[in-house]
């Protein structure tokens, strides 16, 4: 814990941390709670660079696993999983929303971003066995036509929720309204909590999906008229093995980091916020709160998004302050 706090204090926030700065009201959450290591988030994604300095304090390597049969380790050859995880537990150039919680990394997509629903189902089953508190599914894919597989997915998610696990997913980046028959998976399945994206101005990001059942948003970028282009991005960690991009040179991003935007980061920030609230409650009362209590806190903390009045952008600091 001391090492994590030392890292947090040793690195000043950069301009690409504007999103977590807003959620935490200039990182005032760090003075209250940075996360409890007993609170566990399962990240279902492309694996992670678990030796990256942003991640290496928090990954439960022996509890992590690849579900991709031809990529047997959890090394991230895609970059998506490392980016998502750093948004939660980053503590240097990335200022994570809950930098001291524990992460189980389950690889469910390969280096090309391909994944099968069976791999996701298997990962959720394992996460339930490991008694995680939160399952984060930041990737999205096209609608699945296998009715039996969808039924099995719904049932395993229901099982997770029945055990008190929060199942959180990205709403997707196609600027579409999500409906029950939407082509985006898993956000169109109502069992989980789908998270949209807001931009630097606090409005729905131009790319973000939305719709009935998408009640929450978190800031993760998008170009806003009247603001410099750099505020369209947020900073995340990238695998150290990946080549440097022109974008990173253009915006003077540190080595082993990149810039991104998207509801994948929004989903991660929501998962991190839930983890932070659970951590605070557990630290104060030595037990965990009811699901509805936490979701109500999160809902009441936020502000309504213009044109999408059922949706709020969460304020992590305000929600955290309500746990006393």
Query: Whats the size of the chain, residue-wise?
Result: 324
Q: Residue range 242-257: average pLDDT? A: 96
Q: Residue range 220-243: average pLDDT? A: 90
* For the chain, domain boundaries: 2-321
Q: What is the pLDDT of residue 182?
A: 55
CB atoms within 10 A of CB 318: 17
Q: What is the pLDDT of residue 265?
A: 98
| Element housing 118 (H / E) | helix 117-129
- Compare 302 and 1 and report the one with higher pLDDT: 302
| Burial class (CB within 10 angstroms; exposed 0-12, middle 13-18, buried 19+) of 241 | exposed
Sequence-ordered alpha helix ranges (H) in 37-99: 80-89
pTM: 0.96
Q: What is the pLDDT of residue 26?
A: 97
Least confident of 130-144, 248-262, 281-295: 130-144
Q: What is the pLDDT of residue 177?
A: 85
| Element housing 310 (H / E) | strand 308-313
Between β-strands 216-219 and 234-237, what pairing exists: parallel, antiparallel or unpaired? unpaired
Angle at 322 between CA 127 and CA 98, to 5 degrees: 40
**Residue whose entry in the numeric block shows the structure tokens 């990149």:** 258
Q: Residue range 77-98: average pLDDT? A: 98
Of 283, 287, 318, the closest CA to residue 301 belongs to: 318
- Residues taking part in catalysis: 45, 80, 264
% the chain with pLDDT above 70: 94
3-state secondary structure of 242: coil
We find that the CATH architecture of domain 2-321 is: 3-Layer(aba) Sandwich (3.40)
Q: Does residue 144 register a pLDDT over 90?
A: no
């Amino acid at each position: 814990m001391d090492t994590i706090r030392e890292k947090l204090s040793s690195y000043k926030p950069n301009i690409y941390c504007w999103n977590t700065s807003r959620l935490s009201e200039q990182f005032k959450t760090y003075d209250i709670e940075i996360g409890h290591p007993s609170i566990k988030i399962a990240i279902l994604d492309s694996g992670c660079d678990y030796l990256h300095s942003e991640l290496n304090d928090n990954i439960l390597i022996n509890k992590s696993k690849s579900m991709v049969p031809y990529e047997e380790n959890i090394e991230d050859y895609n970059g998506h999983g490392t980016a998502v995880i750093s948004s939660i537990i980053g503590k240097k150039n990335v200022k994570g929303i809950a930098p001291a919680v524990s992460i189980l990394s389950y690889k469910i997509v390969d280096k090309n971003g391909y994944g099968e629903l069976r791999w996701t189902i298997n990962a959720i089953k394992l996460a339930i066995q490991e008694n995680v508190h939160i399952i984060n599914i930041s990737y999205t894919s096209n609608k699945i036509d296998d009715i039996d597989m969808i039924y099995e997915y719904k049932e395993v998610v229901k099982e997770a929720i029945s055990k008190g696990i929060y199942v959180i997913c990205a709403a997707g980046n196609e600027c579409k309204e999500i409906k029950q028959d939407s082509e985006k998976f898993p956000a169109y399945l109502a069992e989980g909590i789908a998270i949209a994206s807001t931009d630097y101005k606090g409005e729905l990001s131009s790319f973000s999906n939305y719709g009935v059942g998408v009640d929450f948003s978190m800031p993760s970028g998008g170009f806003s008229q009247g603001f410099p282009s750099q505020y369209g991005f947020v900073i995340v960690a990238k695998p150290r093995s990946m080549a440097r991009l022109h974008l990173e040179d253009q915006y003077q991003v540190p080595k082993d980091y990149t810039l991104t935007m998207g509801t994948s980061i929004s989903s991660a920030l929501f998962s991190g916020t839930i983890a932070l609230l659970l951590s605070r409650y557990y630290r104060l009362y030595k037990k965990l709160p009811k699901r509805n209590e936490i979701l109500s806190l999160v809902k009441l903390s936020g502000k309504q998004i213009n044109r999408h009045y059922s949706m709020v952008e969460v304020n992590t600091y305000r929600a955290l302050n309500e746990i006393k």
